[in-house]
Amino acid sequence: MCNNFNKKFLDEASKALSNHNSDIPQENTHKQFMKEAVDLAIRGMEKNEGGPFGCIIVKDGKIVGRGNNKVTSTYDPTAHAEITAIRDACKNLNSFQLNGCIVYTSCEPCPMCLGAIYWARPEKVFFGSNKKDAADVGFDDDFIYKEINLDYDKRSIPFEQINREEALKAFQIWNEKEDKTDY
Ligand SMILES: [Zn+2]
């Protein structure tokens, strides 16, 4: 009796929601794209292309870029899912910006990919698993996040500044260059 009542109540509530809340179908779309990103992660890993990471980039409801981790198969430590997806999307869009795009990545981005995403400037990022989940299976992005705040000489890879004056010449020339493409 009680269960029937609850079921009826839930049915009516969900009907009311689908009639009045336009976010519900959209939420399903986001989940569908995230599932695609996870499928890419699994397929890439099964083909031994690299780690278990996938990424989809969507513009106006259409997939414009796909990527999965290809670090080990291409001998490229930068071939993370987000980077390969950004490269694919930008090539397809003939643009170095992801204006109006949404990034769906199977895992929270590492600092390199976070930087790449900021440079590409999409509208929003959805991520599936998080940094802690990644660290649990041996991908310690969290370690790199912590390194960012350390003094140069305290980092596990020491950083040291040399020849600043020399390096500034490139900036001077850029400043004065009249036919540059700003980004
Ligand atoms: Zn990354």
In a domain, 42, yes or no: yes
Distance 20 CA to ligand 1 centre (A): 39
pLDDT for the residue numbered 26: 82
In a domain, 3, yes or no: no
pLDDT in tens, 43-87: 999 999 999 999 999 999 999 999 999 999 999 999 999 999 999
pLDDT in tens, 9-37: 445 544 444 444 555 568 889 999 999 99
Annotated active-site residue 82? The verdict is yes
Q: Is the pLDDT of residue 91 over 80?
A: yes
In a domain, 96, yes or no: yes
pLDDT in tens, 152-181: 999 999 999 999 999 999 999 999 999 999
* CB within 8 Å of 7: residues ≥ 6 apart: none
Q: What is the mean pLDDT of residues 35-43?
A: 98
In a domain, 166, yes or no: no
In a domain, 75, yes or no: yes
pLDDT for the residue numbered 141: 87
The two counts, helices (H) then strands (E), for the chain are 8, 4
Distance 109 CA to ligand 1 centre (A): 5
Can you give the residue range of the structural domain that contains 41? 26-148
- Specify the number of domains making up the chain: 1
In a domain, 105, yes or no: yes
- Global pTM reads 0.84
CATH number of the domain bearing residue 100: 3.40.140.10
In a domain, 10, yes or no: no
Distance 112 CA to ligand 1 centre (A): 5
Crossing angle of the two packed helices 81-93 and 23-46, in degrees rounded to 10: 110
Q: Helix or strand or coil: residue 151?
A: coil
Catalytic one of 49, 82, 147, 178: 82
Q: What angle do CA 128, 131, 136 make, to 5 degrees?
A: 105
In a domain, 56, yes or no: yes
Distance 47 CA to ligand 1 centre (A): 19
> Long-range contacts: 20-29, Cβ < 8 Å, 24+?
29/61
